[in-house]
Amino acid sequence: MRYARGTMTRNTLRTSFLIRFWHQRAGSTQEESSWRAQITHVQSGEYGYVDDLSSLIAFMERWTGTLANGQSSAPFPSSVPKVEDADER
């Protein structure tokens, strides 16, 4: 990761969020499972549980203002792409 010197000013406001994702199965098939997340605003300690991206963004916008105009309420992806092992490359 590269950082540029001098990009932050005294007027820069920073805030941090910790987001934890997990896959929750409600039944025995893929269609009966979904992604969930817990999001925590680090500075205040406030947290919430969400199951779609619009709720995740809405939580963050409480501290940041509008992040995405017209963001759809798309759910988290239903499947996770496979991560290749180093030995498979």
Q: Is residue 83 assigned to a domain?
A: no
80 pLDDT more than 70: no
Query: What strand order describes the sheet that includes 33-41?
Result: 17-25, 33-41, 47-50
Q: Report pLDDT for 4.
A: 54
Q: Is residue 21 assigned to a domain?
A: yes
Q: Report pLDDT for 88.
A: 45
- For the chain, the domain total comes to 1
77 pLDDT more than 80: no
Domain that holds residue 36: 14-65
User: What are the percentages of helix, strand and coil residues in the chain, rounded to 5?
Assistant: 20, 25, 55
**CA dist., res. 88 & res. 85, Å (int):** 5
Q: Is residue 54 assigned to a domain?
A: yes
79 pLDDT more than 70: no
Q: How does pLDDT run across 8-65, given as a tens digit for each residue?
A: 566 667 899 999 999 888 777 666 788 899 999 999 999 999 999 999 999 999 988 8
Model confidence, pTM: 0.60
